[in-house]
Amino acid sequence: MDCAEGEIQAAIALDTQYPKATWAKVALRVVDGATTTGTWVQDFETLYDDKLVEQSDGQLGLYISEFLGPAGLMPAFCRPSTSEVAAGVSRDPQIILTYDRLRSIFLKARSIHQGTYHEGDYDEVETMFTIIEEAELERQHADSERQRAESERQRANEVIAVLEEQLRLVQKRV
């Protein structure tokens, strides 16, 4: 999805009525490659409603690629495309935003807007910066693991080459 700042990999949409904000719905749109405008992978679902005694459970699953772009990432860190999903491919998201967490963010924003927020309210709410930092650490860990695996593969190939050479020499003598 294009914007003035560059490509957007994912957009979390929050729908609420203004100014009371007695309910909120959430949706997720991601880049798919098949379209330039993205694909809704989660349609608008109720996140919060003042009228409900028990709020809905749910979550948004995000992938590292939605923070950093897919270039250079292992497929495990990328959301499967629509065609991959149709072919039965599934991957576990690396970042889970639960509806409880999103509800806390929504309720904090609502209380700030309504002037009822007090310092210390909603301390459990993590900022998107914290989530992005976690994604960057996860990417660095994945890069480190990839480099370690590549190093081990190269070392194994070297050992195999030495053993093959020794076998060749032994077979020559026999």
The predicted structure's pLDDT at residue 14: 87
The reported pTM is 0.59
Which among 50, 48, 79, 75 is positioned nearest to 63, based on CA atoms?
A: 79
Question: CB under 8 Å to 53, separation ≥6 — which residues?
Answer: none
The predicted structure's pLDDT at residue 129: 56
The mean pLDDT value for 44-63 works out to 89
